[in-house]
Chains A and B, each alone.
Chain A
């Protein structure tokens, strides 16, 4: 037993320095150390919440993009790890210790890997250049940092905690954002991504911000700041000679990887009443990945639930497609039956609602459907 214990201790003694070496990242000073401690607390809170969107495939992809962008020696001193948050708003933020969060809503509106890389490069610079601690010092002075952090919690408390609020809602100062634009752009081009995609990202975000009325915690928070990003990017782009304006976008691979997330995000958009955005996302998915029953069902939903201009005829067409592609798709039959019921197509309503209950005998809305079927029975000629 003593021998085993000795071997274990020797093994531990050998392993511990290696493990410590693997995590070579460290805060630069006492101020940053305090920020990192706070970041870790907030990370733990987010990671243990239901907000995290788990997908190993997508996380690996994000990791690969980071490795493409950030040189290995810099990653060794500041490991950057990206986690996906289940939230339909367009947001991404970086904690001072290199832990980044990106919302499903943001990933869903990006069209390709080059656009995603634009966001990740920008955010990586915030961590690599220690922007948060610089900003905190600039705003309040070193001695008042705690008070400052305390103060922001009152006014900017978000689901991401104090630092998340600072990074995501407020954003950094104009100078630091400018630096992140410039250096992020350099990382982007160095990694071989198409630089022309960079300004498009912020155009997309501006459209989104306008559509949402910027009421939610939002990437770059306000329209003027987004305009600054667009101007910065265009300025940087104009510095590249015409012949060199090329690079990879990896659009197909991006849509392949994030296809399921795009549909999940479309579902969240539908719940929030954003039928148009849901339709855009699903259309992109179908274009990239071809026929898919869930995509057709969501496309149908985007027409049925369109608050401005509902189109039950089109909705029915897409539910039909979904049911044809997968005859066992209970939800497609439910919605087909529901639309037919409202359109007084009694035969179709009876068949579809009946099929729905066959496929989903313990459906949570069974009570409603049974009531409709009774009503249809009574209306039988």
Chain B
């Protein structure tokens, strides 16, 4: 997901139809079949498969909500491991961690947390990682993931480790309490 960010930025900047809107009230995605109460007053932009939410800009804090069909040929950028139907939450977490750890440009400093979590009403996992970017900036990333009906849902929160991550983490945690996957 960390490597996805520049692509996300470019895609959204180039997509003429997508515009930044201020988050207000409940966000319902009929296409991705979820509802969530995003942090109010932040900025949101979305494509068909990805929702990006930030308050101060991408480099400072980003929430990404996405879902991916598990039949997709290339699921992850750095690992060729796959998430498959019937995987246990810890197995999904393992693939997500392995994808991060296979990126030679951004070495993972630590897997700080890897625990079961309720994700949108489904059995899922919560992974928290610390990594360093090419320019030496330390980042932390918290990923919620679960499988639902052939889809992998992920909500990721990325921010610089110093100051920013902790600052907005409670907001993200509160948002996750409102996240509901409507698909079965």
Contact = CB atoms under 8 A, between A and B. Distances in A.
A268 interface: yes
A321 to B, nearest CB: 22
B114 A365 contact: yes
Contacts of B80: 272-274, 307
Contacts of A307: 80-82
A272 B116 contact: no
B78 A272 contact: yes
Nearest to A267: B101
A272 B102 contact: yes
A364 B114 contact: yes
A159 interface: yes
Contacts of A49: 107
Interface of B: 78-82, 88-90, 93, 98, 101-102, 104-105, 107, 109, 111, 113-116, 125, 132, 134
B88 A271 contact: no
A49 B116 CA distance: 33
Nearest to B101: A271
A305 B83 CA distance: 11
Contacts of A245: none
Residue picked from A89, A272, A371, most chain B C-beta under 10 Å? A272
A368 interface: yes
A367 interface: yes
A271 B81 CA distance: 8
Interface of A: 49-51, 87-89, 159, 268, 270-274, 305, 307, 338, 341-342, 364-365, 367-368, 371-372
Contacts of A371: 116
- Tell me what chain B mostly uses at the interface: helix, strand, loop, or mixed: mixed
A372 B89 CA distance: 11
Main secondary structure of the interface of A (DSSP, over half): loop
A368 B104 contact: no
A158 B83 CA distance: 29
B166 to A, nearest CB: 20
A368 B115 contact: yes
Most chain B CB within 10 A, of A49, A89, A268, A271, is at A271
Nearest to A270: B98
Given A273-B81, A367-B116, 14 more contacts: A159-B104, A159-B134, A271-B79, A272-B80, A274-B80, A307-B81, A365-B90, A365-B115, A368-B88, A368-B89, A368-B114, A368-B116, A368-B125, A371-B116
Given A272-B79, A368-B116, A342 B111 contact: no
Q: Tell me which of A51, A89, A368, A371 has the highest count of chain B C-beta atoms within 10 A of its own C-beta.
A: A368
13 contacts: A50-B109, A51-B107, A159-B134, A268-B102, A271-B102, A272-B98, A273-B81, A307-B81, A307-B82, A338-B88, A341-B88, A342-B88, A365-B115
Contacts of A51: 104, 107
A49 B125 CA distance: 31
Nearest to A89: B104
Contacts of A87: 104
A50 B133 CA distance: 12
A274 B109 CA distance: 22
The 8 closest A-B pairs by CB, nearest first: A273-B80, A273-B81, A271-B98, A368-B90, A367-B115, A272-B102, A273-B79, A367-B116
Nearest to B126: A367
A50 B131 CA distance: 11
Nearest to A87: B104
Contacts of A274: 80
Nearest to B100: A271
Given A271-B98, A367-B115, A368-B115, A305 B104 contact: no
B111 A364 contact: yes
Nearest to B90: A368
A122 to B, nearest CB: 23
Contacts of B81: 271-273, 305, 307
Contacts of B114: 364-365, 368
A371 B93 CA distance: 15
B127 to A, nearest CB: 10
